[in-house]
Amino acid sequence: MKKTCLLFQNLFLLAVLASCMVSCGSTKESLSISSDEEQAFKQVEGDTITISSNTTEYEIIIIEPGFNVWLSSVAKPEGYYSQSFLENRNYMMVLEWNNRVIQPSRFDPNLYELQIDYSSQIDYGYEVNYKLYNYFIYFQRKYNQRLGPFVPRI
């Protein structure tokens, strides 16, 4: 009787361990990169995009080779996402971004240089949220990073 219970316990532990290994291994998804996206990632010439809003006097300057090409050729078009969707995702990704900026020993300080001042209480407008969101998607896909629980998809 004791041998039977011990056998069932071992089988149960083995099943739990196997289940954990399968679920832990399946959390990483590989990203499929299109040829247009690959070309944007290979750009070496500096691209400068200014994200600004006249009503809030908010401005972000992104100096990232290939982002402008990626934004116009790969990203979903303006109007595809709702503003509330963009605001929610941006808020989560800004929190993670800023968390990484203040931990240069854990995260590459060449990737995470400056904090982003973004408040969920301010309406930055659609264009600012659209470009910021797409920069985060571009950044995550190009540098194989994850700024939240969602896989950065196009």
pLDDT by position in tens, the chain (length 154) = 555 444 444 444 434 334 433 333 333 455 787 777 877 777 767 667 777 777 767 777 888 888 988 999 999 999 999 999 999 999 999 999 999 999 999 999 999 999 999 999 999 999 999 999 999 999 999 999 999 999 998 8
Regarding whether 40 and 24 lie in a shared domain, the answer is no
Regarding whether 82 and 18 lie in a shared domain, the answer is no
Regarding whether 42 and 9 lie in a shared domain, the answer is no
CA dihedral over 42, 104, 96, 49, signed as positive or negative: negative
Regarding whether 72 and 23 lie in a shared domain, the answer is no
Q: What pLDDT, on a 0 to 100 scale, did the predictor assign at position 46?
A: 66
Q: What pLDDT, on a 0 to 100 scale, did the predictor assign at position 121?
A: 93
Q: What pLDDT, on a 0 to 100 scale, did the predictor assign at position 1?
A: 56
Number of structural domains in the chain: 2
Burial of 22 (0-12, 13-18, 19+ CB in 10 A): exposed
Q: What pLDDT, on a 0 to 100 scale, did the predictor assign at position 146?
A: 96
Regarding whether 20 and 39 lie in a shared domain, the answer is no
Regarding whether 82 and 69 lie in a shared domain, the answer is yes
Q: What pLDDT, on a 0 to 100 scale, did the predictor assign at position 9?
A: 47
- Domain assignment present for residue 56? The answer is yes
Query: Going by C-beta distance under 8 Å and a sequence separation of 6 or more, which residues neighbour residue 119?
Result: none
Q: What pLDDT, on a 0 to 100 scale, did the predictor assign at position 30?
A: 57
Regarding whether 15 and 39 lie in a shared domain, the answer is no
Q: Find the domain containing 3 and state its range.
A: 1-30
Regarding whether 106 and 78 lie in a shared domain, the answer is yes
